[in-house]
Amino acid sequence: MKNPRCILITGASSGIGEALAHFYAGPGVFLAVSGRDQARLEDVAQACRDKGAEVSATVVDVCDRDAMADWINHADQAHPLDLVIANAGISGDSGGNSIDLNESTTRDIFAVNFAGVLNTIFPALTPMRQRGRGQLALVSSMAGFRGLPSAPAYSTSKVMVKAYGEALRGVLAPEGIGVSVICPGFVESRITAKNKFPMPLLMKAPKAARIIAKGLAKNRLLIAFPWPFVAFMWCLNLLPPCWANKLLSRMPRKG
């Protein structure tokens, strides 16, 4: 949708989610935003109100299926949603180092990064299908192009998001509902601030938000950036798996 007026964003208290809220905020716009930190979320909400937007800010856990359904249904009843951005996610990996393969941490990553996406889009889908319009944006990652030994749980959760979004696109397009998958590279945020390894082509969140919003306005299936990373991942997937795995095994481990 070129000019969405009623927008819901999860993970809006920092990073890409915060930047998208700032980008879309303006007179005549309703924003429903969620996050895990009440103070940071309220700061984002107030900044968007200062730009003229009407904002509803709610602290809700994307892993709580019932709470998410209640929040999204309430928001949609008050302001029929044009655009839903399933952005909430966590990084880290299977413990202090990906080779630790901590089961609890792995399950937490899958619960937030994939189940959290499902808990966001399904409550919005029913009213969107009834109206015959709307748009879903699923935030994956450049790591979602394949499973990475440097971040097995994180990358696999993002692979699932990417694949599911691509599949949904074909299912929902005949009903007038757009689906886009967002695959950013390194973007400045509270998550990337914890990384202890070099992050080439690190991008500021406002620039990432502009790229994403432009892609959403054009209803692109895949919004992936920056382009050198995209080219690298496409080429990587053309290699025989044994060659690709050998190359990827040299990447820094994600803590």
Q: Which residues are catalytic?
A: 154
Q: Quick one: tokens of 122?
A: 């399904």
Q: What's phi and psi for 6, nearest 5 deg?
A: -125, 110
Neighbours of 148 (CB within 10 A): 26
What tokens were used for 111? 């619960």
Structure tokens belonging to residue 196 = 């202890």
CA 84, 90, 93, 95 dihedral sign is negative
CA atoms within 13 A on the CB side of 63: 10
Q: CB within 8 A of 11, min separation 6: which ones?
A: 17, 34, 35, 62, 87, 88, 89, 139
CA pair distance 6, 129, nearest whole angstrom: 16
Q: Tokens in use for 155? A: 């990358």
CA distance 172 to 84: 14
Handedness of CA 121, 122, 123, 128 (dihedral sign): positive
